Chain A
Amino acid sequence: MKLESKCPTGPIETRWDRYRFETKLINPANKRKYTILVVGTGLAGASAAASLAELGYCVKAFCYQDSPRRAHSISAQGGINSAKNYRNDGDSVYRLFHDTVKGGDYRARESNVYRLAQVSLNVIDQCVAQGVPFARDYGGLLDTRSFGGAQLQRTFYARGQTGQQLLLGAYAALVRQIGLGTVEMFPRTEMLDVVVVDGRARGIVTRDMVTGAIESHHGDAVCLATGGYANVFFLSTNAKGCNTTAIWRAYKKGAAFANPCFTQIHPTCIPVTGDHQSKLTLMSESLRNDGRIWVPKNKGDKRSAGQIPENERDYFLERRYPAFGNLVPRDVASRAAKERCDAGHGVGPTGLGVFLDFTESIGRLGKHVIEERYGNLFQMYEKITGENPYESPMRIFPAAHYTMGGLWVDYNLMSTIPGLYVLGEANFSDHGANRLGASALMQGLADGYFVIPYTIGDYFGNTKLDKLDTSHPEFTKVKQEVNDRTKRLLALRGKRTVDSLHRELGLLCWEKCGMGRNEKQLKEALAAIPGIRAEFWKNAMVPGSGNDLNQALERAGRVADFLEFAELMVADALERRESCGGHFREESQTEEGEAKRDDENYSHAAVWEYQGEGKAPLLHKEQFTFEYAKPSQRSYK
């Protein structure tokens, strides 16, 4: 396998422009001869499907939800970054690019990130034109706020529901095309495999989640926009249905997987209350604009927050990082909270929590201002915990949230399978080892609206694709494989629920491959995962049949893939013997406990190639070069 990033060269400011000029164009009358399959309808998938259909391509779009409007992008709360510089506070495309590369701890490709920063300008224009009701100032112009890892206000938002509003914007563009007949939509349909013919992605095999029918779809290119794999931890902020199946199946068909160990643990989530917990709820990072994070100075102090006097409180982020204070990037904030809890200063019944306190800002700005900014988040917190955050501080703890790793893609967003594109969180390309807040929405929409429409045309223009349909033997073969696998799952009649096995895997990954990682624990995890997998295939219980709506079967298929994927994630974490971003190897830290990179040996993407069942995957490396954002020890002090 040869990894060619295909990045343009020359001055970084002009790379994307020159690339666009050099791409082959497809004449409008010919575009309708191409069929593109788009899997997933979150920000990246919906925006891609709509934009490609507008250009004239035939598009088929698939999602497992009952409507494309429900993809998990909808849960993003805080905002979307853009280098508009409407604030006159010193922002620029170059600065957003630089902040993103630095925030990612110098483990992302410069050309991709620069392009992302450039098109971030268009993304905001596009969303406003679609009627996305962003927050505005009294003069009627757009308002912005701060997010972690940046010292300026470049984050556009729609209350605490920015993801929802952006997704509904993309959904509106998508349904418009569905209505026009240019997109054929398949809701409640799960992709179970990709079909590769003569080395090119030419189709997918899906399951109709209502009738159980296994079906094949052929096309000239396939776009996966199926999100991340944070549910490998079982407890995460992802929706229950989020899964790794699409990208994992693609990996097993030859798409290389990059940096699977780069996972983001979000610092501000509601702490776990008990074994019944089915998911974790995020409290937007935007809360750190006005909330102050602290723990008691005394170990094991069980007094309520109000009873702890000011001089016995440790505002540990402000203490350790005076320049950025509570707005340090997520990885830094999460580790600092863990460090305090490990040292015995944690709060709440489990001791796994820190306070997020609004007393000071409510006093300074008034309750109504805080309510206007975060009302829905405060309400959500109260619903879940039964505590009123206007009166006593929130308790928060880090939780698995986002995954920077994903399928390897080149500058065109194409994976190592020609014709297979990967968009949004599902790819690895832009966030390095740590994603900055409000950058996921930016990337999803950038990929879908403004990147894929250009790059996919270049592929069609340069490639002679044979006519084929689903009668091709390869389709029959893959469909048979999917059918066999479904039968195997349905034959499981053991004594454990699929959820209990998923929980066991998740806890193992969280404890040994979570916020802190070391060689010993990673090796223990590697040794333990095959055992859980064997237990699954021996002792799991999957009731019901394959011929109708069967949620137990859906879960089983996804967990089976997580059980395979987890091993790759842990192996990658073991292989990367440096700390960077969200990947904290305890062996590699500075004297002050900060992540210590090893640029000499690890300034690369670790790219894994599948070698077959039971064989160790082959590691390739894409070396990063930094011509503009020169790597330095990341400091937020």
Chain B
Amino acid sequence: MNLTLKVWRQKGPQGTGPKDKGRMVTYDAPGISPDMSFLEMLDIVNAKLELAGEEPIAFDHDCREGICGTCSLMINGIAHGPDAGTTACQLHMRRFSDGDTIYIEPWRARAFPVLKDLIIDRSAFDRIMQAGGFISVNTGGTPDANCLPVSKEKAELSMDAAACIGCGACVASCKNASAMLFVSAKVAQFAYLPQGQPERYDRVQKMIATMDHEGFGNCTNQGECEAVCPKEIKMTNIALMNRDFLVAVATAGARQVS
């Protein structure tokens, strides 16, 4: 099939002067096979650009099997494109029709500045994790793994939340550029497990403080994040996080004493 692409091109990082003026550029993508993945389609367009001595469209990708969370494309206004529960790298061209025009843009959020073309800087996510996205255990000295039974139900809920790949689609699709689905997934993963209890309330406070500091917005329960999440992380995690945050604030004094 033959397609037309409208792609965001931006030479340099935001805030570097004249280079950061981006624009949409039109490209033809002829002879695309329905068996190709979306990124393979971009590879073909890029090969043509390269041979013409032009810079290929820069886009982030790595595993191309939907798990590393690197790919980050806004396709026709939807983060990761039209398939539910699917990353852009797992989207296949059979989803499109001959003659389609496809708009491809980067994630857009204040906390995710564009570095080049479709590549953004998501290091804010790492900084939120640094603030508390862990259980403070050093290597060694841990008890036998079966010392700590976890009910199957809780283990499954924890795993549902832990499936987050940190791609940032939730932020990109939220009108407030809120990172609450991402943050709550980590908070919930540990809140469901006994290992996560000792730091439970400190963790939620620290992660939320960093999230706010990084410039992510608040949640207004619209659910765009859940709709586009390639791993189908649920908004119930946000409810859990809000509750934990409330408890954390209310019991802050008491926790310090104990």
Contacts and interface: CB of A to CB of B under 8 A. Distances in A.
Nearest to B135: A131
B33 interface: yes
A164 B67 contact: yes
Given A67-B166, A172-B134, A383-B92, A541 B70 contact: no
Contacts of B64: 239-240, 278-279, 281
B23 to A, nearest CB: 17
A140 B43 CA distance: 47
A65 B68 contact: yes
Contact of A72 (B63, B129, B145, B165): B63
A162 to B, nearest CB: 11
26 contacts: A70-B63, A75-B65, A75-B68, A124-B145, A125-B142, A130-B135, A133-B158, A135-B159, A140-B149, A158-B162, A171-B129, A172-B135, A178-B126, A185-B126, A210-B115, A237-B65, A239-B63, A274-B35, A278-B37, A380-B65, A383-B92, A384-B37, A453-B139, A497-B50, A541-B51, A543-B50
Interface stretch (B117-125, B172-180, B215-223, B248-256): B117-125
Contact of A74 (B51, B68, B158, B196): B68
Contact of B155 (A65, A135, A541, A548): A135
A67 B43 contact: no
Interface in A327-351: none
Interface of B: 11-13, 33, 35-37, 39-40, 43-44, 47, 49-51, 53-56, 58, 60-70, 83, 85-86, 90-92, 94, 115-116, 119, 121-123, 125-126, 129-131, 133-140, 142-146, 148-152, 155, 158-159, 162-163, 165-166, 189-190, 193, 195-196
A70 B159 contact: no
Nearest to A134: B155
Given A66-B60, A172-B133, A499 B155 contact: no
A139 B152 CA distance: 7
Contacts of B190: 131
Nearest to A242: B62
Q: At the interface, is chain B mostly helix, strand, loop or mixed?
A: loop
Contacts of A498: 50
Interface in A397-442: none
Nearest to B16: A548
B123 A67 contact: yes
A383 B163 CA distance: 18
A548 B16 CA distance: 12
A220 to B, nearest CB: 20
A42 B142 CA distance: 22
A136 B152 contact: yes
Contacts of A129: 135, 137, 142-143, 195
Interface string A163-199: 1110010011101101100000101000000000000
Given A67-B123, A161-B163, A383-B92, A176 B134 contact: yes
Given A125-B143, A543-B50, A543-B53, A70 B69 contact: yes
B196 A131 contact: yes
A349 B47 CA distance: 27
Contacts of A386: 92, 94
Nearest to B83: A383
A373 to B, nearest CB: 13
B162 A168 contact: yes
Contacts of A164: 67, 163, 165
Top 5 nearest A-B pairs (CB, nearest first) are A140-B149, A179-B130, A172-B134, A129-B142, A133-B159
B196 A450 contact: no
Contacts of B193: 131, 133
Interface string A48-90: 0011001000000000011111101011000000001010000
A125 B35 contact: no
B94 A493 contact: no
A47 B139 contact: yes
B249 to A, nearest CB: 22
A158 B70 contact: no
Interface string A127-147: 111110111111111100000
B67 A126 contact: no
B40 to A, nearest CB: 5
A453 B146 CA distance: 25
A625 interface: no
A66 B115 CA distance: 11
Interface stretch (A519-527, A549-557, A581-589, A607-615): A549-557
B47 A384 contact: no
Contacts of B63: 70, 72, 74-75, 239-240
Contacts of A23: none
B55 A175 contact: no
A379 B85 contact: yes
Interface string A276-293: 111101100000000000
A366 interface: no
A633 interface: no
A549 B116 contact: yes
Interface in A248-283: 273-274, 276-279, 281-282
Given A129-B195, A131-B190, A549-B116, A51 B139 contact: yes
A493 B69 CA distance: 33
A70 B56 contact: no
A241 interface: yes
Nearest to B167: A70
A550 B46 CA distance: 13
B40 A140 contact: no
